[in-house]
Chains A and B, each alone.
Chain A
């Protein structure tokens, strides 16, 4: 196994492009090293992106935030402006594993691992995040919901990597929230994850984005769920509709972590709870 630590995303893409064997990107390594340990992957090349300066930065721009692909979860928590703007995204990222994992895990890695249960992904989708993708020949920007195309599969070409994740500047009276269900209080993979982002106008939901995790092959944006609450002040009836829309959008599997029935049911339960938090954060009155 060759280990490379390029200084730029372009250089990294070049290394990937040249590699004929199995090549893997290393950011936090919290998924890759588990796969190595379990013998699930046998890399010929590992490209460590932590030495790419840009990948280690959180930039605040006029348009919002640019979060480098190698920035670990712990640093998101420490970034006050980011936490204030997108508390749901930061909370979701912080739910990935323990403090130890937080020292390493990244938003981009969580996205590229393409687990349907990735905690940060529904939150990023709800927030309208985009992935800045660098290839050997070109750069492109892709909405987060388009990155994963199936369990463990992404839209990235073999010469591409995510350099950063962008989050827009939240509009006024916007709030987001992410909730997941796990059997314990920590250290579990989400059985269901729900992210809600709402923007209010005169106390009512003007626009909303609702995304679900662990209930389909990829995290999904659920426009019908958003429609269920737009125009409402999140009254019980709206919440019920939201809940039903979320459950209806579920297409989960039965596995050791949850049954189809349980996941479908909980998606609705968590959606209501997450929507209430997002609503409050946006300045709504409960």
Chain B
């Protein structure tokens, strides 16, 4: 059944209010169960042996000694995960990333795994596994990996997207080009041309909950997996494929999830845990240590980006070119392509071209991190725009407004934008009181914009009405940050009942049809849409039951404010039937009352944000402190404003961490040197000011409530906003993120020397 997803303006009773989340009590009392919080009868402890080398051939793995250790129940290597990927290269890479196959491609690459009766035994067993490596030359830097003499990771990888096709393998997996217009002509029109090169270091999502799962495989091919994930249906599909299980026989339950930000969209430990369980014939719990999370889950790309932009004196950007190099870790990705698509997306630039190079290096396989690839491109573009503004003597906001993308602007990746909110956010920034706050000595202010597509995708929702009229809403998109409240609010809004009468749950893979992963800011958009349609489906049933109870034709029943109303001359005197009254009689009027919806929620609305950042720079140490910060973002429609603000604030904080101190530090030996929260420095409470937020609502025309995704966009502007603020405070343009104290101090030195 197809539904009309177009936006209809309406007054809301529940949507837009600030209700209490349904999982709040469980989470403040410690009852909520996360990935590592369950155990199974006869359960074993799984542990993974990881390569200490960034690049090595695995000559031999001898597990004999470990197998003899009492309490060891299973040891697996890649031999226990035969390749069932049928030539699907993406799947083959996932498999190889889960367990090295003949070669270790990064420090931390899994080589073998053990299941034992307890932690101590498992740890001892790992030490007894003897792996013979032959070390190979390695490369961890994106620019170095592109050099012709760089050690090649994959002998069968030839750069796609270049002509003629290369005959020699290299670390460049693909070249991408986007854009339109004639950039040479555009630069010829320009009064000012600015060229800058930027670098951004690799960062990690830094969710506080490490990856954890409990796997149980039976000899009859049935299996269960309890796991912290953003997408249990996707995990089921991938694990089934890799393990040779039937999809319906693997039940995956998503635990409460302790943060994901894209990092829990891919499998790492889960196929290993399933393979251990299959071999041991017992449940296996596998929990990554924090050190393993940093070394061997999926951080974001480090990049190297060149930007050239030209503008007329009136502020019109006449041409823009970006050349971007993104590393995807040890396996090819499409990260540079995403950089190309997003780099100039906030602007209408007549002549623009982005070239992306996707590169592999000896680092962990990159995963999505909140608006993946966009923050790095935006750092480069937003910094360069400020340089242009300075050169032509215009305010940085006015230059942005002069070139801002609007409805009808062609996106750099091709299509024409519908209604979008970037201009609204910039206008809101311009008039925001923050812009008038006084700056003290050594302080500066910066503004930057950001874009993220947002996505929709496959969604399935069940809504069941109990005999007392309370409602169970079963949703298949994992709730990472409070989505259950939003879903319950939407169901209550549609049905016309109280929020407290709806309880939203996240269904496991056995209880609902496929749902795409909660990624791309799709949760509230797509499950919200499916919830609306499921509720309307249930209303259809409720009306039918009311008609039956009244003995009147269905056409004479309407649903208003949570009640069935009889209409028409014949029966308008009948007293209304409430949802509760209809539910109470459901057994006698046709059985349980439910609504369902399966939908491909397409038409996600683009997300745009503009941020203001005030920073104070210590001129003697180069240390930057954020003193004031404001986020303005278009939400389309904020279902639960608290959690929309929370997304803005959290995304901004992650961007600020990236801008100031977060980075993967690799030694010359190719090993990660800061695999812990001590030296991978995410912002702590005392680093941050309050983050002011302003929610704008430019309705998405392709959603009944006008919802746009809100989760990711606000991680995009902070790098540029912080960099621009530092430039304002010091006169120094930072081109290398994070803009850590030593980097800022050496830039200040260079300024003073020059």
Interface residues of chain A, those whose CB is within 8 Å of chain B, are 37-39, 181, 183-189, 255-259, 262, 265-266, 269
Q: Are A185 and B687 in contact (CB under 8 A)?
A: yes
- Given known pairs A183-B661, A184-B661, the reply for A265 and B681 (CB within 8 Å) is no
8 Å CB contact of A256 from B289, B291, B665, B745:
B665
What are 21 contact pairs spanning A and B, CB under 8 A? A37-B289, A39-B123, A181-B623, A181-B741, A183-B623, A183-B740, A184-B681, A184-B684, A184-B687, A185-B684, A185-B686, A186-B687, A188-B678, A188-B679, A255-B673, A256-B674, A258-B742, A262-B742, A266-B621, A269-B620, A269-B621
B71 in contact (CB, < 8 A):
no
Judge whether A188 and B742 touch: CB under 8 Å.
no
* Contact A257-B621, Cβ < 8 Å, known A183-B741, A187-B684: no
A259 touching B742, Cβ below 8 Å: yes
Which of chain B's residues have a CB closer than 8 A to the CB of A39? Answer: 123
Q: Give the interface SS of chain A, mostly helix, strand, loop or mixed.
A: loop
Q: How far is the CA of A262 from the CA of B678 in the complex (A)?
A: 20
Inter-chain contact A187/B678, CB cutoff 8 Å:
yes
Chain A residues with CB below 8 A from B661, complex form: 183-184
Q: How far is the CA of A38 from the CA of B677 in the complex (A)?
A: 14
Which residue of chain B lies nearest to A37 when distances are taken between CB atoms in the complex?
B289
14 further interface pairs, Cβ-Cβ under 8 Å (given A183-B661, A262-B742, A265-B745): A39-B123, A181-B621, A181-B623, A183-B681, A183-B741, A184-B686, A184-B687, A188-B679, A188-B681, A189-B679, A256-B665, A257-B679, A262-B745, A269-B620
Q: Which A residue's beta carbon lies closest to that of B742?
A: A262
Q: Which chain A residues lie closer than 8 Å to B623 at the CB level? A: 181, 183
- Cα A39 to Cα B126 in complex, Å, equals 12
Whether A256 and B660, one on each chain, are in contact in the complex, defined by CB atoms closer than 8 angstroms, is no
A187 to B680, CA, bound (A): 11
> How close is A150's CB to chain B, nearest CB, in angstroms?
21
Contacts of A265 in B (CB 8 A): 745
Closest A residue to B663 using CB positions: A256
Chain A residue at minimal CB-CB distance from B657: A184
- The interface residues of chain A lying within 8 Å CB-to-CB of B620 are 269
By a CB distance below 8 angstroms, the chain A residues around B673 are 255-256
**Residue of B623, B661, B742 with most partner-chain A CB within 10 A:** B742
**In the bound complex, how far is the Cα of B659 from the Cα of A183, in angstroms?**
12
1/0 contact trace for B686-699 toward A, CB 8 Å?
11000000000000
A259 CA to B740 CA, complexed, in Å: 12
Which residue of chain B has its CB nearest to the CB of A257? Answer: B679
- Measured between beta carbons, the chain B residues less than 8 angstroms from A257 are 679
Q: Quick check: A256 and B683 within 8 Å, CB to CB? A: no
Q: Mark B273-303, 1 if CB is under 8 A from A, else 0.
A: 0000000000000000101000000000000
Provide the residues of chain A in CB contact with B740, threshold 8 Å.
183
CB atoms of A186 and B686 under 8 A apart:
yes
Distance (Å) between the CB of A27 and the closest chain B CB?
20
**How distant is B47 from chain A, measured CB to nearest CB, in Å?**
11
* Complex CA–CA separation, A265 to B291 (angstroms): 32
Taking the closest CB of chain B, its distance from the CB of A163, in whole angstroms, is 30
A31 to B121 Cα, complex, angstroms: 24
Q: Which residue of B is nearest A183, CB measured? A: B661
- How far apart sit A37 and B289, CA to CA, in the bound complex (Å)? 10
Contacts of A259 in B (CB 8 A): 742
Residues of B within 8 A of A266 (CB): 621
Proximity bits, B720-743, A CB within 8 Å = 1, else 0: 000000000000000000001110
Determine how close the nearest CB of chain B comes to the CB of A260; give it in whole angstroms: 11
Complex alpha-carbon distance, A39 and B289, angstroms: 12
A97 to chain B, nearest CB (A): 10
The verdict on A184 contacting B683 (CB below 8 Å), with A38-B291, A256-B665, A262-B745 known, is yes
Which chain A residues lie closer than 8 Å to B681 at the CB level? 183-184, 187-188
A131–chain B nearest beta-carbon distance, Å: 26
CA A184 to CA B665, docked complex, whole Å: 17
> Quick one: which of A185, A255, A258 has the most chain B CB within 10 A?
A185
Q: Which 5 A-B pairs have the closest CB atoms?
A: A185-B686, A262-B742, A256-B673, A269-B620, A256-B665
Least distance between B208 CB and chain A CB atoms (Å) = 14
* A265, B749: Cα distance in complex, Å: 12
Q: Please, which residue of chain A has its CB at the minimum distance from the CB of B661?
A: A183
- State the Cβ distance, B201 to closest chain A Cβ, in Å: 12
Is the beta-carbon distance between A256 and B679 smaller than 8 angstroms? yes
- Nearest Cβ distance between residue B622 and chain A, in whole angstroms? 8
Q: Which residues from chain A contact B741 at a C-beta distance below 8 Å?
A: 181, 183, 262
Nearest residue, chain B, Cβ from A266? B621
- Give B280 Cβ to nearest chain A Cβ, in Å: 23
User: In the complex, which residue of chain A has the Cβ closest to the Cβ of B745?
Assistant: A262
| Chain A residue with the shortest CB-CB distance to B620 | A269
Contact with A along B660-678 (1 / 0, CB 8 A): 1100010000000110011
Q: What is the CA–CA distance of A257 and B625 in the complex, to the nearest angstrom?
A: 18
Closest Cβ–Cβ distance, residue A79 to chain B (whole Å): 24
Q: How far is the CA of A170 from the CA of B678 in the complex (A)?
A: 35
In the bound complex, residues from chain B placing their C-beta under 8 Å from that of A189 are 678-679
Report chain B residues within 8 Å CB of A187: 677-678, 681, 684
Contacts of A262 in B (CB 8 A): 741-742, 745
A186 touches B684 (CB 8 A): yes
Chain A residues with CB below 8 A from B685, complex form: 186
B75 to chain A, nearest CB (A): 19
Q: How far is the CB of A263 from chain B (nearest CB, A)?
A: 9
Query: Given the complex of chains A and B, what is the CA–CA distance between A38 and B740 in angstroms?
Result: 28
- CB of B50, distance to nearest CB on chain A (Å): 12
Shortest beta-carbon distance from A210 to chain B in Å? 18
B667 nearest in chain A by CB position = A256
Q: Would you give the shortest CB distance from A90 to chain B, in whole angstroms?
A: 19
| Residues from chain B with Cβ under 8 Å of A186 in the complex | 684-687
Chain B CB count within 10 A is highest, among A37, A189, A255, A262, for A262
**Interchain CA distance A188-B660 in the complex, whole Å:** 14
Contacts of B674 in A (CB 8 A): 256
* Bound Cα distance A181, B677 (Å): 18
Bound Cα distance from A38 to B123, whole angstroms = 11
Within 8 A of A (CB), among B116-135: 123
Closest chain A residue to B666, Cβ basis: A256
Report yes or no: B678 in contact with A183, Cβ–Cβ below 8 A.
Answer: no
Chain B, Cβ-Cβ closest to A255: B673
Q: Cβ of B745 and Cβ of A183 under 8 Å apart?
A: no
B108 to chain A, nearest CB (A): 14
Chain B residues near A184: list those with CB within 8 A. 661, 681, 683-684, 686-687
Cα distance, A39 to B684, chains bound together (Å) = 27
Q: How far is the CB of A37 from chain B (nearest CB, A)?
A: 8
Task: Give Cα A37 to B673, complex, Å.
Answer: 17
Chain A residues positioned under 8 Å from B665 (CB to CB): 256
Query: How far apart sit A186 and B681, CA to CA, in the bound complex (Å)?
Result: 10
List of B residues within 8 angstroms of A38 by Cβ: 291
- Closest Cβ of chain B to A102, distance in Å, is 14
